[in-house]
Structure 1
């Protein structure tokens, strides 16, 4: 007996839906690594397509079937193939694929040179209609020290962890590590998973010698991204988890580079 296809039943309410699909799929993935060629990690994946007004629903299983066919390989080229397969398999005009994952970079402590992994968050945001659109987002934890606190205090200055969220569109490959370096070099100091006493002294004093407001970090990141010819658009969001306030400090800047000229 053939089972009824309820999702394909005709809908008469005349409402087009922009995105339907599945979200928060936990799946093993492979991403490119600037140093080691590739890195195995775990992704949280959202997959959507548009739904014409005539169809009652979409077929959830087909999204996972497409994902399985590509074995979790998440490069820019392969993500476009996944989006094309989603459009084909689900008879859609527009497809969306979002992949969020942990990414690890081996870092050396500044003085002892002891190596340890530092974790970062990254996200691929892609869409395919007639054209393919891809955004790389990296969330980088950093260290900030308040310039005002340093200026007015006789004994030290308040400092805290912060995070820089950088999103970019590109015309050539921009590595996750590239954006990490931009963010860390724009903060008061980077963070390290493992520090010995001599490293801690160095990082603390470096931050004190390099105080930054969130506004300073956003502007310094912007200047670096402006000089990178691979990047066509960027969005920067910096949040400082203030150590002497119950709230955070925040700054944001969004720029299409061709419009800035």
Structure 2
């Protein structure tokens, strides 16, 4: 008997044990063609109270090389599902497993005539047993906001309503859709919804006139960080219209303040039915 299979000193079950930061390169069959993605994977299993430890080398064995399977995956979710099944097969004592993957993904962002492929942060997870699983897809994008409070105050001071100046912030916005298996929402759609929630999205390359037009557009659309979160939820709610009622949506914004030494934070989450059905905009859809 291996030491992992012996009884521990204290019969306490462990909900998750495994490796963090495992690396794999996976080929994803995306709308842009075959895209190689470097995934940082966390893989965990549950162990019962009468088992001292897990056979952790099996967590690595559960991550197949591309040359073995799959030569290409239809999605990151497809790859993680294979890993999840392998974990439960290799760890026969485990009732549940959890797999997470982080990566960066290129999404075409459109705004006022600009159309650029921009990087977004992605975290996808699958959690549960072989019969019942939950998927969670989180996308993080950068954008900017213009403070409506300062803009209104300055308008009153200089006695004008014509595009008054205000301070602006860089904002990191995360949107999450958590649902049952086989109900996958595309990363591109989530990113498009989130990029529409800012005063203006961020772009890697801006020429002088593009930069000026983006700043002007942002000042025409001032927002608090609370507004950003609300607009993100509105978009995520639209994307989740056909998903099960148990679906959860979340929005989280971190505003990196320009005139304060601290940052501002906003967060909300809820069952999709706890938010009203909005007039969904086509801009949330990737084209």
Q: Fold match, TM over 0.5?
A: yes
Taking the aligned partners of 2:49 and 2:17, their CA distance within structure 1 comes to 12
Give yes or no for contact 2:145–2:170 (8 Å, CA) kept in 1.
yes
Taking the aligned partners of 1:235 and 1:64, their CA distance within structure 2 comes to 31
Partner residue, 1:53: 49
Partner residue, 2:268: 253
Query: Residues 80-159 of structure 1 correspond to what in structure 2 (within 5 A)?
Result: 80-91=81-92, 92-107=94-109, 110=112, 116-129=116-129, 130-153=131-154, 154=158, 156-159=165-168
Taking the aligned partners of 1:176 and 1:7, their CA distance within structure 2 comes to 39
Q: Would you identify which runs of 4 or more consecutive aligned residues in structure 1 move more than 4 Å? A: 69-74, 106-111
User: Deviation at 1:86?
Assistant: 0.5
Q: Gaps spanning 5+ residues in structure 2: where?
A: 159-163, 277-287
Taking the aligned partners of 2:168 and 2:22, their CA distance within structure 1 comes to 37
Q: Tell me, what secondary structure is at the counterpart of 1:144?
A: strand
Matched, 1:177 2:196: no
Q: Tell me, what secondary structure is at the counterpart of 2:51?
A: coil
Taking the aligned partners of 2:175 and 2:234, their CA distance within structure 1 comes to 13
Taking the aligned partners of 2:153 and 2:60, their CA distance within structure 1 comes to 57
* Number of residue pairs aligned between Structure 1 and Structure 2: 255
Q: What is the Cα-based RMSD across aligned positions, in Å? A: 2.2
CA, structure 1 residues 23+101, in 2 after alignment: closer, same or farther (shift >3 Å)?
Answer: same
Cα deviation code 1:81-139 (max 9, x no counterpart): 3212201101110000000101112456855x5x6541110010111223011010000
Q: Tell me, what secondary structure is at the counterpart of 2:260?
A: coil
Taking the aligned partners of 2:105 and 2:119, their CA distance within structure 1 comes to 6
CA, structure 1 residues 109+193, in 2 after alignment: closer, same or farther (shift >3 Å)?
Answer: farther
Give yes or no for contact 1:109–1:195 (8 Å, CA) kept in 2.
no
Q: Tell me, what secondary structure is at the counterpart of 2:196?
A: helix
Greater shift, 100-109 or 12-21, is seen at: 100-109
Taking the aligned partners of 2:237 and 2:108, their CA distance within structure 1 comes to 27
| TM-score (norm. length: structure 2) | 0.81
Partner residue, 1:162: 171
Give yes or no for contact 1:48–1:97 (8 Å, CA) kept in 2.
yes
1:205 to 216, 225, 239: 216
Taking the aligned partners of 1:240 and 1:59, their CA distance within structure 2 comes to 43
Partner residue, 1:19: 16
Taking the aligned partners of 1:215 and 1:106, their CA distance within structure 2 comes to 25
Greater shift, 38-47 or 187-196, is seen at: 38-47
